[in-house]
Amino acid sequence: MTQVNKLLGRWLNTNHETRGIAECTVTRDGDDVNVSITGVGEDGPIQWPTVSATPLANLEEEAGQRTGVLLATFDLGFMRAETHMRINKGVFVIVLFATFLDGSGRANYLNREFFYQP
């Protein structure tokens, strides 16, 4: 769980023009790790529900660095957003797997965004 500590804090998207995730906050409450995401909407920021995250082992080491990984799944009603989060060379990375549940016919998608701490 000590590797997860590197993920704690407030993270802002490096792309200020993003149409996806603007901000992510990772907090710890005892053994629980919670994730809060602010998405981008046409009429302003959209606060996703805060969820409990599951720490995962990172079996892939890049340049000898060990990092924690979090899995957090958000149910937004019209869409399920499964996120995988980790630090890669000092940059917080969120990989988002979006599955639409509303019968709209929109294509499910995968997106990767990069974040920094202000």
Tens digit of pLDDT per residue, the chain (118 long)? Answer: 557 888 999 999 999 999 999 999 999 999 899 999 999 999 999 999 999 999 987 666 555 556 689 999 999 999 999 999 998 888 999 999 999 999 999 999 999 999 999 9
pLDDT at residue number 58 = 67
Q: Give me the sign of the Cα torsion angle 24, 29, 33, 34.
A: negative
pLDDT at residue number 5 = 87
Percent helix / strand / coil, the chain, rounded to 5: 5, 60, 35
Q: Domain spanning 2-116 has what CATH number? A: 2.40.128
Q: What are the extents of the domains in the chain?
A: 2-116
